[in-house]
Amino acid sequence: MKPLKIGITGVRGLVGETFTPEVAVGFSQSFGTYLDGGRVLVCRDTRASGPMVRAAVIAGLLAAGCEVIDLGVSPTPSLQLAVTWLKAEGGIAITAGHNPSQWNALKFVRSDGLYLNPTQAEELLDIFHQGEFAKATWDRIKPAIQHQDAIEHHIELLKSVFEVEAIKNRRLKVAVDCCNGACSRLIPLWLREIGCEVLAINDNPGAPFPHAPEPKPETMAQLSAVVKAGNADIGFAHDADGERLGIVTEFGQPLSEELTLALATRIRLEHNSGTVVTNVSTTSAIEKIAAIYGGTVVRTPVGQTYIAESMIEHQAVLGGEGSGGVTVPELHSTHDSAAAVGLILEGLARSGRHVSQFVQDLPQLTMLKYNLAVEPNRLYSVLQNFRVAIEREHLSCDLTDGIRVLLPQGWIHVRASNTESMIRVIVEAEEMADAHKLLEWVRDRLNK
């Protein structure tokens, strides 16, 4: 199984197998053609393949007649904010986010700093598959690549959104694990700007990932140890490109990635009730929290672009996903782990409480996740067979994204991954035993 995943999240694959310089050049030429030239920003995370892919991407953009501004190693949200600042037509983030080191990807950003929506992504794919690209003649290729640093601009915007003085007055000690990713250049600076004492680990962008760059409990052991040893007030874990956030309490307890959005929702709605947008895979704790504060919840398919467009439509006060992505609309309609840090620290500063006290107030639910690796050409037949099994039992299902079924004990959700060749299964119930029963229920029917 050597997949090249092409879809709404861009294009990603295993470097040297399916994700090659030819693929990167072709998609970059396609994007330059789609934008009809103009200024395009480029950034990357810290993977070993980053410089190679950057060279291919810049070659493709220049060949299509684009002007290129290279932001270097930079979080994806920093690029998304810089698109409007630098008056660009769009941007390409070279990052596979939470995927392991052997992966890389291109994420395509439009002129408002948001990812392409499904229609726009289809248009880009059509150009790629047709292979008819804009070709700049020798005298129209832009002669120089400009360089800019988007980090300082990102921090200035963050400071304008959150109550910096309140956070400074709380004098918080914060541990942070940047996974040697792009956040190594942003998060420690941002924390020091708002008066925190910073205990940073894995903040060397020149070093390899020390663990999988997905902020979840099993990757936060080192951060937990630092929180406890340093008596920190909270710990934050980041993915490779600054979209996902994991949290460790002051007692060194790593929280499920599902609780990042739940905690952010609790803090936001207490002071600013309104609509929260999340996807159909995310914990139902969001509805329970919203009910307490008079908020409402809108559910979308999985994917940042759906969250972003729904937030704009519903004028939401918060958005995010159970993966640890949080969107603070005053900053931008995109997942940004630096903004999630600001929101959570602002909540601690306003309340004078500890993070563990907030967590105790959250609904206590059990969520289990299971991934079933499937050959790319079988993904949708496996899903279809599962749907047939569900309908045979006369159960109604929500087909917003994959198959979601509400049962007396809780709910189950089965869908094809946007980023890897696998079926993702999520179940949630109030009791642990019920969650395990639901998972077995799904696995029985998937294997039929």
One digit per residue, pLDDT tens: the chain, 448 residues? Answer: 456 778 777 899 999 999 999 999 999 999 999 999 999 999 999 999 999 999 999 999 999 999 999 999 999 999 999 999 999 999 999 999 999 999 999 999 999 999 999 999 999 999 999 999 999 999 999 988 999 999 999 999 999 999 999 999 999 999 999 999 999 999 999 999 999 999 999 999 999 999 999 999 999 999 999 999 999 999 999 999 999 999 999 999 999 999 999 999 999 999 999 999 999 999 999 999 999 999 999 999 998 999 999 999 999 999 999 999 999 999 999 999 999 999 999 999 999 999 999 999 999 999 999 999 888 888 889 999 999 999 999 998 999 999 999 999 999 999 998 777 889 999 999 999 999 999 999 999 987 5
Contact 65, 138 (CB under 8 A): no
